[in-house]
Amino acid sequence: MPKKKLPNYKDELAQYTFLPNGQITLQIKHKLFESAIKKVVVIDERIQRFSNTPYSSKNINVPIKDIFELTNVIVPVIDKINLGAKNFSPTIISDIEEFIEAEIGKCNFLLIHYSILERMYPNSKEEINTKLALWSTPENIRVVITSGRGKPHKLPSNKVCYVNLSPVLNVFTDARSKYSINYLLNAARK
């Protein structure tokens, strides 16, 4: 069966799912349940910008960030923390750190764009790695770095993984599928 891209959500999910004999197996139920309950914190300026766009369908007009929150995808509010700023002031750096530290104990994944770390800690790979090691210490957390420039060298700990930016943007902005987000973050490589 050919895969369909999700340009817009449709009323009937069945047109996007191709199940043998139309049956939902126990394994599929487990995967769907896992993707629904996993909490993802996203620190990426592109996804933050996208989360502020409206989702419109029939009589519904809500910001994508509201849909993200309902599916356990947490993105900082752009009015409070602008991840797209060219240079980060000490206040922005502190706000980002506080946001991450407030959410880290309650989430399963922290997805962070490497360029944000570089703007937070310019000229200090050691400080970047120290923060990544700190954020990856809670038992239930998996820190995933994303970048369009390839995997950064010498990431700390075996709980800090990497995934290319292109599929990240695809699952968040094109597919808009929590199942795909969960699958991608679980598949991230060390």
Note the pLDDT of residue 4. Answer: 47
Long-range contacts of 55-61 (CB under 8 A, 24+ apart): 55/9, 57/8, 57/9
**Helical ranges in the chain per DSSP H:** 26-37, 45-51, 64-70, 90-103, 114-120, 125-135, 165-169, 178-187
Instruction: For residue 13, name the pLDDT band (cuts at 50, 70, 90).
Output: very low
Domains of the chain in sequence order: 40-187 (3.40.50)
d(CA 50, CA 141): 25
Mean pLDDT of 106-123: 94
pLDDT tops 90 at residue 9 = no
d(CA 22, CA 147): 38
Pairing outcome for strands 54-57 and 60-63: antiparallel
d(CA 185, CA 172): 12
Mean pLDDT of 113-119: 96
Pairing outcome for strands 73-74 and 40-43: parallel
The partner residues of 164 in beta bridges, in order of sequence, read 147
Contact between residue 125 and residue 92 where contact means Cβ atoms under 8 Å apart: no
d(CA 168, CA 184): 8
pLDDT tops 50 at residue 25 = yes
Contact between residue 48 and residue 115 where contact means Cβ atoms under 8 Å apart: no
Note the pLDDT of residue 101. Answer: 95
Taking the CA atoms of 98, 37, 136 and 79 in sequence, report the sign of the dihedral they define. negative
Which is more confident, 90 or 55?
90
Which is more confident, 3 or 52?
52
Which is more confident, 117 or 9?
117
What is the SS3 assignment for 153-185? Answer: CCCCCCCEEEEEHHHHHHHHHHCCCHHHHHHHH
Note the pLDDT of residue 81. Answer: 96
